[in-house]
Amino acid sequence: MFSLPLVLLVLFINVFGVIGDTPIFATATLHPDSNSSAKGFVIFTQLNPSSSVVVRGIINGLVPNTQYHGFHVHEKNPGNTTNCTAAGAHFNPYMKWHGGPDDTIDQRHVGDLGNIHSNEFGTAYVLINDSIIQLANQTQSILNRTIIVHRDVDDLGRGGQVDSNTTGLFYI
């Protein structure tokens, strides 16, 4: 399923507020996988069930000024392990090919959030507004799944290389 190493694991996306039209929040804490020292925190907010999800996060300990890192929601809750492979494949409830965050729901995995990149201090500041991932809609809900920051670049399904249609990842 994964032909390239994964960098960083985020355990459980936990919800902690769901009431009618009030904002829904969820959080994820990122823990380093065995070959990484990166860690971070991500907050997800959805104002109501028909609005998009705002993803805000800070990830530290990346190689400074790096090329982009694939950033995805993967399908499984990995339990107590910080082994990225325990998180399974990209979250893909509609059985589509891999894509990028600007693709339609028929052209991407629900979990395809594209790439993030680090600044000169090895920190990535994440701000993503995504209308496909959901905290409310059950089929598209990312709750109790895993978010992963990869060492490698996500080609957003457009690379023509071997993993382009599944993970998009390639190492540069």
Which residues here bind Cu ion, judged by CB under 5 A? 72, 148
CA distance 82 to 94: 27
CA distance 31 to 55: 18
Beta strand 14-17 with 169-170: parallel, antiparallel or unpaired? unpaired
All residues at 6 or more sequence positions from 149 whose CB lies less than 8 Å from its CB, including other chains = 7, 8, 10, 30, 38, 40, 59, 62, 69, 70, 71, 116, 124
* 24 versus 154: smaller Cβ distance to Cu ion: 154
CB 124 within 8 A of CB 118: yes
Q: What is the pattern of x (binds Zn ion, CB under 5 A) and - over residues 100-139?
A: ---------x--x---------------------------
Q: What is the pattern of x (binds Zn ion, CB under 5 A) and - over residues 39-78?
A: ----------------------------------------
* 23 versus 88: smaller Cβ distance to Cu ion: 88
Binding partner of residue 98 among Cu ion, Zn ion, none, CB cut-off 5 to 8 Å per kind: Zn ion
Question: Does 145 engage in binding with Zn ion (CB under 5 A)?
Answer: no
Give the interface with Zn ion as residue ranges (CB under 5 A): 90, 98, 109, 112
